[in-house]
Structures are given as structure tokens and as C-alpha cells.
Structure 1
Amino acid sequence: MNQKTLTIMEYGRIKQAIQKYLVSAAGQHELAQLQPTADSQKLQRWLDEAQDGADIYRLESGIPLPKLDDIRPHLKRLALEAVLNGLELAQISRVLWTTSSVVKFFDQLAEKQLTLRLLNQEVQELVTIPDVTRRLRTSLEGDGHLTDDASPELRQIRQHIAQTAAAIRENMDQYTRGKDAKYLSETIVTIRDDRYVIPVRSEYKQHFGGIVHDQSASGQTLFIEPQAVVSLNNRLRQNQMDERHEEQRILAELTALLTPYQDEILRNAEILGHLDFINAKARYAHQIRATEPKLSLTNQVNLRQARHPLIDPKKVVANDITIGKDYKTIIVTGPNTGGKTITLKTLALVQLMGQSGLFIPANENSVIGVFDDIFADIGDEQSIEQSLSTFSGHMENIVSILKQADDRSLVIIDELGAGTDPQEGAALAIAILDQIGTLGSYVMVSTHYPELKAYGYNRPETINASMEFDAESLQPTYRLLIGIPGRSNALDIAARLGMPSQVVAAARGLTDQDSQDLNAMISDLTEQKRLADSHAANLESQLTEATELHDQLQTQFDQYQHQKDQLMLDAKRDANRIVDESRKRANQIISDLRKKQLDAGKSVVKEDELIAAQGALNALQQDTGLQKNKVLRREKAKHTFKKGDSVLVKSYGQTGVLMQQLDDQHWEVQLGILKMKIATTDLEKAADPAKSKKQPRASIRRTGSNGMSPTLDLRGHRYEEAMAEVDRYIDSALLAGYPSVTIIHGKGTGALRKGVTDYLKRSKRVKSFGFSPANAGGDGSTIVRLQ
């Protein structure tokens, strides 16, 4: 990608903003190497990784990574068979420990069923070395100091050192706190040449004996190791030497553990650095409210409410920028300080960010292209050293662009043709745009030349645009208006600032009439677009509300339909259960009747009548399949029409006859002497008058039966058996046609009598009942009159 463009667009400031979120040296290195790419497959992979990072940041606040140092120099020394020091080993240990932590973190993400695009696959490349990691973590502190657990020998040596040092301090305390303290310059114990000494006044140097190790600058104080502690200091020195030897042995041992895994450790560090970089991209995207861009391999750019990432979010104005579909050239006109340059930079910088695999500061579903190169000519190109004027500097830059650009290039030029005679500058600008059009490049330019407004109307794949200017407040709004060229506001601004009216009028008189008409047309177009945008925003809001309401109603309707079908199904199941019970009871009754008839040798109830009765009971069974629902079929039949059908016109409440179908929605209906066009939805099938005559009604007559006794004797029966017998007997009596029967239950304890009485009170088939007369059994039997 063109390096000059990266500099002009301040691409480095984007990288600086990301850098503060990095915690690893490998991540810093990857960021330093970051450049926009034109490889669409690589770019899509970068964006997929960025989306994974954004999802993890949203749910887990990012991938947990500590500060990681650059271990590449350590691994180079390891390859040369050098023994690593404690700090180098500790930094490698941190990489190995982080590797294990990251693998565990992604395993937990998998358990939470978080779907990632790529990072799961990349993390699988991490190699954990548990035994080596555990040994390093046990042996080393974060600053590289070996712990007492590094080896049993080191622990023992350090215990001896501590004991010897304690003995030395105990002896030395006798000099600093006892009667000999008056011979000291200060009552302290200090160290010289790694040996404990006391500061003795020079005139008393013979008092303590021992060895003089140092003296003060004035010579008044000597640092003496008393004779009493010389042997202890010797022992301490020997212990310290043993400690150093053991530490060197341990460091060599730990270094040897790492030697077989050099490639794996280096690869782990690179992957962790890459994850750190993805973390940083996600945090930066969150900070600037950036979204994932979609890629257009045909370079149809559509940025929705794009914002310049380096401007304060509270001040920046977002704009829709589209190029590549209906037009490949945008000519932006308008007053100075109106935001033209920032808009051009926004397109270029957002495109550079997107092609670097970064999320872009624009609304969701924004689309970027995949350009092979992006060229820019923005700013003052004057160079004193090269003795170039501003115009010459721009021309040299544009000449270079024309040599390199092609049909997959994006060209950004600010103030095309400026810095020279207006007429020549306009002509040159048009010629340059024609040449860029010949190359097939995508271009967005800004200019003050009115001639380019006409150019934007007349050239194919070219469109005018402008930065909106509020004539009331005399302030730019920084909103990009695509399709409308910018108008000159100089005379209006001068008038509002108090310029005498005669001066303004004279200026208008000197202005070409075509220019005045063009400005008036532009002003009208600007107002129309503002109204159209306002109307479109209002309709968009209404559409959103209507869509939400429709979705809610659809959901509620689906729930209603489901509940209705379920309730109907439950009701039919309940009905079927009742019918099943009734069928079993009826079959039992019919079986008893048939048995009694056969026993009596008579056939009052014919066999075919019994079969027909059983069939009628079976017909009560409900079909639980909704597609066979009789009610639904009946309702559907009401609205299935054909010529000659009798129909009810619901709006008139009149019955008529269908004459002919006029179309899918209307029928011609004969209503008396009138023929009318009626909507199908206003019709309902009516009963055919020829078939609605009164049909003869069937009557049922009960006949007496000689197959059963009018008396039921319950004496000697158990209570439950007696109650069941009473129930069956009443059913049989009703079928036999008896008007009344007698139930003999006896007197006894009165339990059967009470049970019979309670049953008869509950039965709807019993008209009345009472005890028999005294001469016919009294309260030992009950006479029952049936319905």
C-alpha cells in the first residue's frame, strides 16, 4: 500500500491508539508490521479473528493475558547452548504458564457454547508442556530469583546461611549494645566485602582486634571485623559460595529442560502475541464504537454513517458515503471550512482501517472495497528545499498517481487544480478526471471550480456532491449531500455580515445570470433533499414500529392458534374418554339384555337393533386430527360456491341465488328481482329451500320386558356389591320400560337401606321413591318410580 497515503491519512495514529491496549512484546511486533492488504482471503480471515475477539470481549472482557516480554533473544541464546539466567527463565516460564491458562480459557468457552469463527482452531496450535511449566513455576519467582523449592540442597544451604547470619548478628549486638559501644562511631552493624563489620573510632582500633576492611573518607572511622566473628564470617562466605554454585546448577538444569521445546515455545509466544493483538483490536473497536465491515470484491463501497476515527466522537459528524455501484467519481464542492477535506480523509482512512482487518467507525452492514492501492493528494505540498511551489508540488504528486493507478485503485484529491489561474485550473482538473476515468480508478475529489459542477452532470459514472451550509446561521453542518453540487454563499454571507446592500446588489449584477440560476437551483435541490431525508427518516421510523407491531401480533396469533388447537384436542380427548366409558357401560347393558332374552326364550329386542345401537355409540368417537375436523370442513363448505347455490348476503340479511362468478373476489347474485355484484367475503351458503322442508321425526317407545323381575332383593349382599347391583338394576329397568320397581334391602343394621336411599337421591333417572306399606315390608323395602 502507498506509504505516502498512510502518512497523509495519519494511519500511524490509529496504530498508536491500538498500542496502548497491548501487553506483549509479540503483540507490539505484530502491530508494528501491520499494513493494509489487498488479499481478500487474508483480509476476511483478519476480520473473522477481529469478530471473535469482539465477541469474547463482550462476554468475557477479553482473553486473559498478562504482560509478556520478548523471549526471542532468550531462545537464540538457548539455541547456542548458553545457560539462561533466572530472569530469562522466568519470562519463558510466564509464556508457558499463560499458554496453559489460555487453552483452559477456550475450553471453558466451548463449554459455554460460544461459537467462534477461527480462534478455536488457532488456539489448538498452542502446545502445553505441563511438567516443564510446573517445574519452572515452582523454582522461579517473577523477577527470576530462585525459590527455596528449586532443590532440597538449595533449601538446606539457605537455612545454614540464615543460621550463621543470625549467630553473627547476635555476637555483633554485644559490641553495639554493651560497654564496648562507646568505642564505636555509630552503634550499627554494616557490611564490607560481604562481611559483617562495625564502625570503630580510629584511636580504638586495637581494642577489638580482627581485620580492618575499610575506613571513612576522613580516616576517623575504621570498619573492623572483630576477631570473635571472623570464623563465623568465613563460614557464611563458604555457605554463600555453595549457594551460588547450587543456583548455577539449577539454572543449567532448567535450561536443559527447555532445550527440546525451543520451536514450540517460540510458536506459543507468537500465537499469544497474536491473541494479544486481537484483544487490542477488540478493545479499540469498543472504544470508537466500530463495527465489522462487509467486503465487496467489486469495490462497491457503502459506508453508513461513517465517522473520522481521530476526531472527538462528541464533535464528529457522521456521513453516508457510497461509491462504486452507480458512479465511480464523486466531485465535492462547497465553501471552505465546510468539511470537504475531512470527508475525503474519512473515506480513505476508513478504507485503510478496513483493509487492515480493523473494525471501522461506521454503522453495521457497512461495505468496504478491496483496493489494490489507495492514493491521496491532500495538504500543502510546497517544499522549500526542492524549490517547488504549492501548485508544482500537487502536480508532481498527481503525475505519480496517474502513473501507478489502475481500475482497482482509490484516488483521493483535495482541491484539484488549485493554486493557479482559475480557468486553466478548471480545464486541467477536468482533463485529470478524464484521465483517471480512462484508467477506471475510483476517485473522490474536492474543488471550488463551478465548471466541475457541470462536469459532474454530463460525465457517465460521475456524480456531484457538496457539504451542506446553513444559510441562516452562516455555519457549515458538515453533512455530505450526494447528488447536489455546492453553491456559492459569498454574497449571502457578506449581506448577513452587514455589507451595504448596494454593494451586494452591484456584485449580484456583475455575477453571470447562469451562475445565479445555478445557485438558485442548487438551493432548491438542497431544500428538497432535506425534506426528502426528513420524510424518509420519518417513514423509516414508522416502518420500524409497524414491523415490530406486526412481529408481536404474528407471535401472539401463532400462540393463539396453538392454544386453540391444543384446547380442541384436549376437549376431544376428554369427550373420547367419556364416550369410551359410556360404550363399555352400554356394551355391558346390551350383553345383559341379550343374555336375559336368551334365558327367557324370547326376543323382544332384535339382534340387528342391538348392533345398530352399539354402532351409534361408536359414532360418538371424536377424531383428534385437526385436518379431519368436521367443524372446519363445515365452515369451509359454507364458503365453497358454485352457480345456482343459495346464499346469504350478510350485509343485507337477504337470501339470493348465485348467477355467475364475475372475478376471483365477486359474484353476481339474484336478490328477488334485482341482480347485484357482491364480494365473496360478504356471502355465506344458505340452506336449499327445496331441501329445507320439515322431515318426519323418529319416535322412541319403550316396551315392557318379561325378561326381568320388577323386584331386586339385596339381602345377604355386601355393601359395595349391593350398590353396584342397584346401579345395574336401575339401568335394566329403564330399558325394560318399567314405571316402578321395588328394592328389598331388609332392616338389619340399616346400612344397606341408607346406601340405597343415598343412591336414589343422587340419581337423575329416579322420579321419586319411598318405603313400602307396612303390610308389604315397611322400611325393609323401597318402591322406586322411574323417569
Structure 2
Amino acid sequence: MLKCDPQTYKDLELEKLQDILREYCIGPSALQIVDQLKPVKNNDELIKFLNQTNELVEIRREAERFPRLEFEELKSEIKMLPVQNASLPQESFARIRMASVMVNSLIYFFNKREEDFPNLYELLSGVEYTKDLINKIDEIFDKHGKVKDDASEDLLRVRQQMQSVKRHIHSTFDRSMRKYLKKGYLSDTKEGFFDDRRVLAVLSSYKREVNGQVVSNSKSGNVTFIEPGETIPLNNEYEQLLDDERKEIFVILQQLTFEMLAYLPLIKAYQQVLTKLDFINAKSRLALLLDANLPSINENKEMELIDCYHPLLKLNNKSLGKNTVPQRISMNKDARMLVISGPNAGGKSITLKTVGLLQLMLQCGLLVPLHPNSKMCLFDALLTDIGDNQSIVDELSTYSYRLKRMRHFLNVSNENTLLLLDEFGTGSDPDLGGALAEVFFETLYDRKSFGVITTHYANIKLKADELPEAINGCMLFDTETLNPLFRFSMGQPGSSFTFEVAQINGIPKKLINKAKSKLDHKKVKMDELLHELQKEKSYLNRLTKEHILAQETAEEHRQFYETTKKKYDQKLQNLKDRAEETSKFVSLGKKLQQFINDYKVRSKKKNSNADLMQEVKKYIAMEKSKIEEVKQEVRLKKQANKKKKTKKVKDQYNQAKIKVGSKVKMISTKQTGEVEEIKGEDVTVLLGFARMKVKLSQLIWVSD
């Protein structure tokens, strides 16, 4: 399990990704998981969680008709069902039915897709496709969620009586209203409702003339609402019938609740599956938002982050309509301490935070925004020292805080630790602080730790160049305008461009030269050398890009020429074929004309054309034989080409050499792995911790 302290979570701003995840959650259980989001304890579980999310992302990206997640959690139902003589409320049965329909649709979707999405399919292993729950609930409830009249004989009888009484109430009330309306006792509104009972709207001056019970008055007092005396007993009877209906519904639901108890394990499984899928769905939607992928996960300590982004920076830039420059960062056992240098505001801290947040995301089970051909590994600890963390409460200065933090790092760091140290060694006298920082750097290096460090100290840059398992890197600047390019480059330290930035911001050259004279000559010379190196590297990069562009352009023209040539060669061949065919038809026509000319029409001799007809038959047989020969030749040629093509493909990728234990590469993704099992054309490949079943034709043999 990746161990992080609260400061690391704060420095890497994991809570901002949690805020996005919360928006995508449906139920409170998934929200609770997001609130407690931490690195996964078990590595096997982590790989499973990552694969589950990746499979759902794959389904979304391929625009498959995945069921829309619609459900309500069943916690209260699971709690109530075992209670003796309990009766679930009507809405609980609606929730159970919705869950059953949802799970059934998921099982149907994954039917016969277990090989394509094995981890999501496994998620449904504890549930089964059944309509028993749905059918039992549908026997009692109609499509509007109301208990059906025929749910029981007693309920049907009560509701029939209710309808009869209701009709009697309306007819009696209407008769009474017509009577008082005729006498002119009623207001313009004629009637109203009070406690779901119809009442007469009587002008207050006539209220004593109307037989009934006063129930209310209008605000002005001009109208008095009276329930007619004739409908009062009928309404009372209806109230009693309503009470009978409620009692009967309770009995029905109590019986249905008892029947649901037999399905309690299945209902619990529904709750578990849907809440897990809710969280997986939230993670997949975050991955789609960030254009995130699952990298190859190595057992050995190696990172190859291709086209990676800081997710929060990318989202912010996207909202502002700005482009985010992708980075490529590599770390391994031969380059495990990465020292990033260069001027301020060039992107050093963002690059450092990118490595840290992507590692934290991965070990929390989230996909990360990088190219799918990237490689990552797992660490046991991730520790950060980023930004100004003065503590007024503890009376700690920035430097004191950093020393306290460094002491902790020195105590816990080992070969399974990833350290992120921003502005390493700052906060004190540059010479003294730099010396102490160098000692810290050496100590952490000796502990075999992995680390990303940003610094301006020349001695740290030099030390990284001296140590065999450390490497320098820098953030590139435009050497003409001194504007940051926000691109990271491995292999050399960066200049701080201190004097150049000062000059471009209007500081007089006289003052700059005076400042240079106060520095050690070697230090100034080194900074100038770094400046020149970066300038030359930028120039070489530009030449390389131009060369690559020229090669691509030449290749495009070559392909266009070959395509055009092939097209015209095909046209020429078609014309030749047509000419040959025409010539053949002309020859056939001449021969047939000769037969016609030789045919004797008015000959008195019997069978005078017998020899001619024999010759015609012989000629036709010969032509048919030629046609059959051509057809057979075409058939054999096609078969030979097919075998040649199959052999060529196999020879090209050396697929005949692939066996258990071979190192292979996937043609589509370029990921490298080891063959674990071969069954005919199906091959199981181990990609880091992940296993994948692919066809033999999708692999390239690399080595044994």
C-alpha cells in the first residue's frame, strides 16, 4: 500500500479530483468511498480496480449501448426485511424492482462478453438473471406504483364500496348545490374543497339558511364554506372505508415483505454490485473527462510517462481555451533521482506535481492522463515537500519546517519511496543551505530512493551529473525571447537565466555587469555554458523537427507517386486486357464467319454439312478446354497468393517462434509482455500485473 501523510494529499491537491468524482456519483455509498479515497492497500486489488475502470472506459469510448445507471440504494430495505412482521413502504418495493431491472440489464449486456470485459463480468458473479422479484412486485403494484385493486379479494371489495359511496356523495352534493343555487344562496365559485371534501361556497348572509356544518370562511368573510348535512354521513362512511383500505394494504405489503425476505441475499448482492458500479462509473467519467488511460504496470521500478498532463492544469487551461503542453518523463533504476532546473515560472513545480499526482491517482485506482503505451510502477511511500509551509501556530519558519520535514524523509526513505522536493534547499543562506542540501541529496541517494527535485543550486546539478543513478533535466525556454516553452527535457541541467531575464525586463546592462563581477568567475562561466548548451539544444531540436517534417513530406510524395503509378499501371493493364479480349473476339468472329461461309444451304446431298458440324463441335470443345485451363490457373494462383500472404505475415512477425515464456509485443498498443499460456490461436499475455487474452495474429515475437 502507498503510504502518504496528510501534507502529501494537500500538496498534490487530491481533494480537487475528489470534488469532480462526487459530481458523478449517484448514491451515498459511492460518495462515502470518494470522501475516503486513499491508495488501495493490496496490489492485486488495485490492478483489478484499475482494469474494471479501464474496461468501462473502453465500453464508453467504443460507444457501446451500456445500460444507463438508474437505481436507488437499498440500505433501509436490507435493514427492515429481517424484522418480524415488518411491512416495507410502497416506495421500497419500487426501489427493489428498479434494482432488479438494472442488474438484469447489466447481466444481459455482459452475456457472452466475459472475455472482452472479464473484470466487470466478475463483478456480477454474485447475482443472477431473474424476474421473480419483478413478477412478485408487479402482481401487487400497477405501472404507476399503486397497489392494484385485485391484490386481494378484501381490497377489491373495499374499493368497490368506496367507488359506490364516492358516486353517492357526488350525486347528493350536486343535488344540494343545485337546490341552493336556485335559491341564490351560493357565491360565484359555487363550491370549494376542505380536507378533500366538497363544500358549498355560501354567501355569508344566507349561511343560517343552509343545512350543514360550517367548516371555514373566506378572508373577506363574505363567503362561508358549508358541508351539506346530506353528505356528512356519507363522507364519514368514506373515511371509514379509507381506513379499511389502509389496513388491507398494510396486510398485503406485510405478506409481500415476508415473501421478499427469501430474496434478501440477492437484494444485498444488488446493493453491493450497484454501489461498486456507481463508484467505477464515476471513475470512468473522470477518466473520459481527463482523456486518461491505463499504463503498463511494471514489477520493477521503472516509469515512462509519455504525453502526460497535470490533470488540474489541463482542466483549467481547457476552461480558458488554452493549450496544455504534454511532457515525457522517464525514471528507472539507472535514473532514479531526477533534478529539474531552470528559471522561475518555467513549469518545474508543475512537472514535479504531475509525477506525484499521477502516481497518487494510479495507486488510488484512478486512470491517469497519459499515453496508453506509458509505463508506471508501484511505490510503498509517496512524500512531498512543496511550497511555503510556514506555521505561525508552531512558530516554524519556512526553513525550519523544511528541516523538520527532511528529518522525517531521512528516517523513512528506502528503495520503495518516491520523494517530491520542490525548491530543494531554499530558505537559508545560499552557500550554507546549498551545502546542507547536497548532503541531504547524497543521503537520500544512498537510501536508493526515487525522487523528483527542483532546484537552482549549481552544486545539486553537478552532483546529479556525477552520481551514476541520478540525472539532470530542465524546462526549456525560448533563448531569443526568454519566454517559457513549458516543455521538459531530460539529460542536462537548465540555466536560471538570471541576468538575461533581468536585462529583458529593463535592468541596465551596467548594473548587470557589476553584479557579474561580484560572483565567482567559474559560476558565471558555468551559467553561460548552460545557456549556450540550451540554445544549441533548441537549435538542434528545431533542425530535427524540420528534418522529420521534410522526411514526412518526402514520404507523402513518394506514396502519392507510387499510388498514382499503380493507378496508371492498372489502367494500362486494363487497356491491354481489353485489347487482347477484343483481338480474341475478332479471331472468334472470323472463325465463325468461315463456318458460316462453308455451310451448304441448297445441297441435295444428304448430310452434306456433317463434316462441317463435326469441325464446329471440335472447335467449341477446344475453346471450352482453354477457358477451363485459364480458370484453374486463376484458382491455383489465388490459393498460392493466400498461402504466401499468410506465410509472409507469420514470417514478418515471427509468430511461429512464439511459445510459453516468450517476450512478445502487441501490434495495436506496442505494449510488451510475457506469454503465460497458449491454447490454439488464443494467447494469454502477462503485462506487468495485468493479464490479457489476445489472438496469436495480434502479437510480435521479441525474444525467448
Render the CA deviation track for 1:164-217: whole Å, top value 9, x for unaligned: 334423433445555537323563433434543223344433423233344567
Render the CA deviation track for 1:647-688: whole Å, top value 9, x for unaligned: xxxxxxxxxxxxxxxxxxxxxxxxxxxxxxxxxxxxxxxxxx
Question: Cα offset for 1:375?
Answer: 0.6
Among 224, 227, 231, the alignment partner of 1:225 is 227
Alpha carbons of structure 1 residues 189 and 757: separation in structure 2 relative to 1, 3 Å: same
Question: Cα offset for 1:418?
Answer: 1.4
Secondary structure (helix, strand or coil) at the match of 1:440 reads coil
Aligned-partner residue type, residue 165 of structure 1: K
Render the CA deviation track for 1:49-103: whole Å, top value 9, x for unaligned: 1222122212345631433222112211222333211122221221112111211
Among 55, 58, 64, the alignment partner of 1:55 is 58
Distance of 2:190 and 2:344 partners within structure 1: 78
Asked if residue 366 in structure 1 is aligned to residue 367 in structure 2, the reply is no
Instruction: State the partner residue of 1:197.
Output: 199
Instruction: State the partner residue of 1:601.
Output: none
Q: Map 1:608-687 onto structure 2 (within 5 A).
A: none
Instruction: State the partner residue of 2:571.
Output: none
Instruction: State the partner residue of 2:428.
Output: 420
Distance of 1:144 and 1:428 partners within structure 2: 73
Alpha carbons of structure 1 residues 269 and 234: separation in structure 2 relative to 1, 3 Å: same
The higher-RCO structure (CA 8 Å, 6+ apart) is: 2
Aligned-partner residue type, residue 754 of structure 1: N
Alpha carbons of structure 1 residues 299 and 145: separation in structure 2 relative to 1, 3 Å: farther
Distance of 1:399 and 1:548 partners within structure 2: 62
Q: Map 1:618-767 onto structure 2 (within 5 A).
A: 750-759=605-614
Instruction: State the partner residue of 1:392.
Output: 400
Matched-pair contact (CA < 8 Å) for 2:213–2:229 = yes
Instruction: State the partner residue of 2:23.
Output: 20
Secondary structure (helix, strand or coil) at the match of 1:189 reads strand
Aligned-partner residue type, residue 502 of structure 2: A
Instruction: State the partner residue of 1:211.
Output: 213
Secondary structure (helix, strand or coil) at the match of 1:36 reads coil
Render the CA deviation track for 1:494-527: whole Å, top value 9, x for unaligned: 2223333322332333333212321232123223
Question: Cα offset for 1:152?
Answer: 5.8
Instruction: State the partner residue of 2:100.
Output: 96
Render the CA deviation track for 1:217-247: whole Å, top value 9, x for unaligned: 7766543221222233133223312221222
Secondary structure (helix, strand or coil) at the match of 1:118 reads helix
Aligned-partner residue type, residue 83 of structure 2: L
Among 394, 403, 411, the alignment partner of 2:411 is 403
Secondary structure (helix, strand or coil) at the match of 1:136 reads helix
Matched-pair contact (CA < 8 Å) for 1:193–1:213 = no
Distance of 2:453 and 2:554 partners within structure 1: 39
Instruction: State the partner residue of 1:297.
Output: 299
Output the aligned Cα RMSD: 3.6
Matched-pair contact (CA < 8 Å) for 1:377–1:414 = yes
Matched-pair contact (CA < 8 Å) for 1:90–1:141 = no
Q: Map 1:36-115 onto structure 2 (within 5 A).
A: 36-37=39-40, 39-61=42-64, 63-81=66-84, 82-107=86-111, 109=113, 115=116
Distance of 2:603 and 2:158 partners within structure 1: 108
Alpha carbons of structure 1 residues 274 and 534: separation in structure 2 relative to 1, 3 Å: farther
Aligned-partner residue type, residue 609 of structure 2: K
Distance of 2:88 and 2:251 partners within structure 1: 11
Aligned-partner residue type, residue 23 of structure 2: K
Distance of 2:279 and 2:148 partners within structure 1: 33
Alpha carbons of structure 1 residues 447 and 396: separation in structure 2 relative to 1, 3 Å: same
Matched-pair contact (CA < 8 Å) for 2:127–2:270 = yes
Alpha carbons of structure 1 residues 202 and 444: separation in structure 2 relative to 1, 3 Å: same
Aligned-partner residue type, residue 505 of structure 1: N
Deviates more, 1:524-533 or 1:539-548: 539-548
Aligned-partner residue type, residue 392 of structure 1: S
Instruction: State the partner residue of 2:632.
Output: none
Distance of 1:90 and 1:42 partners within structure 2: 34
Secondary structure (helix, strand or coil) at the match of 1:250 reads helix
Distance of 1:757 and 1:380 partners within structure 2: 111
Distance of 1:100 and 1:534 partners within structure 2: 58
Aligned-partner residue type, residue 90 of structure 1: A
Question: Cα offset for 1:268?
Answer: 1.8
Matched-pair contact (CA < 8 Å) for 1:196–1:233 = no
Alpha carbons of structure 1 residues 547 and 45: separation in structure 2 relative to 1, 3 Å: farther
Distance of 1:154 and 1:108 partners within structure 2: 45
Distance of 2:239 and 2:339 partners within structure 1: 84
Matched-pair contact (CA < 8 Å) for 1:304–1:366 = yes
Alpha carbons of structure 1 residues 190 and 521: separation in structure 2 relative to 1, 3 Å: same
Alpha carbons of structure 1 residues 407 and 756: separation in structure 2 relative to 1, 3 Å: closer
Name the count of aligned residue pairs.
575
Matched-pair contact (CA < 8 Å) for 1:30–1:273 = no
Among 474, 477, 480, the alignment partner of 1:472 is 480
Question: Cα offset for 1:393?
Answer: 2.0
Asked if residue 520 in structure 1 is aligned to residue 522 in structure 2, the reply is no
Instruction: State the partner residue of 1:184.
Output: 186
Matched-pair contact (CA < 8 Å) for 1:292–1:364 = yes
Distance of 1:361 and 1:338 partners within structure 2: 21
Instruction: State the partner residue of 1:250.
Output: 252
Render the CA deviation track for 1:400-422: whole Å, top value 9, x for unaligned: 23323322111111112211111
Distance of 1:304 and 1:547 partners within structure 2: 26
Matched-pair contact (CA < 8 Å) for 2:21–2:282 = yes
Alpha carbons of structure 1 residues 432 and 212: separation in structure 2 relative to 1, 3 Å: same
Among 273, 285, 295, the alignment partner of 2:287 is 285
Q: Map 1:126-141 onto structure 2 (within 5 A).
A: 126-137=127-138, 139-140=140-141
Matched-pair contact (CA < 8 Å) for 1:319–1:480 = yes
Matched-pair contact (CA < 8 Å) for 2:344–2:496 = no
Secondary structure (helix, strand or coil) at the match of 2:388 reads coil
Question: Cα offset for 1:272?
Answer: 1.9
Q: Identity of counterpart residues, as a percentage?
A: 29
Question: Cα offset for 1:159?
Answer: 4.9
Question: Cα offset for 1:757?
Answer: 4.6
Alpha carbons of structure 1 residues 371 and 104: separation in structure 2 relative to 1, 3 Å: same
Asked if residue 459 in structure 1 is aligned to residue 467 in structure 2, the reply is yes
Deviates more, 1:400-409 or 1:132-141: 132-141
The runs of 5 or more residues in structure 2 that have no matched partner are 567-599, 620-704
Aligned-partner residue type, residue 275 of structure 1: L
Q: Map 1:579-594 onto structure 2 (within 5 A).
A: none
Instruction: State the partner residue of 2:440.
Output: 432
Secondary structure (helix, strand or coil) at the match of 1:168 reads helix
Distance of 2:490 and 2:220 partners within structure 1: 86
Distance of 2:555 and 2:415 partners within structure 1: 43
Matched-pair contact (CA < 8 Å) for 2:382–2:418 = yes
Deviates more, 1:277-286 or 1:346-355: 277-286
Instruction: State the partner residue of 1:355.
Output: 363
Distance of 2:546 and 2:165 partners within structure 1: 87
Matched-pair contact (CA < 8 Å) for 2:27–2:72 = yes
Secondary structure (helix, strand or coil) at the match of 1:327 reads coil
Deviates more, 1:76-85 or 1:536-545: 536-545
Alpha carbons of structure 1 residues 524 and 748: separation in structure 2 relative to 1, 3 Å: closer
Distance of 2:616 and 2:105 partners within structure 1: 81
Matched-pair contact (CA < 8 Å) for 1:471–1:492 = no
Deviates more, 1:299-308 or 1:431-440: 431-440
Aligned-partner residue type, residue 173 of structure 2: M
Distance of 1:117 and 1:535 partners within structure 2: 48
Matched-pair contact (CA < 8 Å) for 1:199–1:224 = yes
Alpha carbons of structure 1 residues 129 and 757: separation in structure 2 relative to 1, 3 Å: closer
Alpha carbons of structure 1 residues 748 and 164: separation in structure 2 relative to 1, 3 Å: same
Distance of 1:332 and 1:349 partners within structure 2: 17
Question: Cα offset for 1:303?
Answer: 0.4
Question: Cα offset for 1:252?
Answer: 0.9
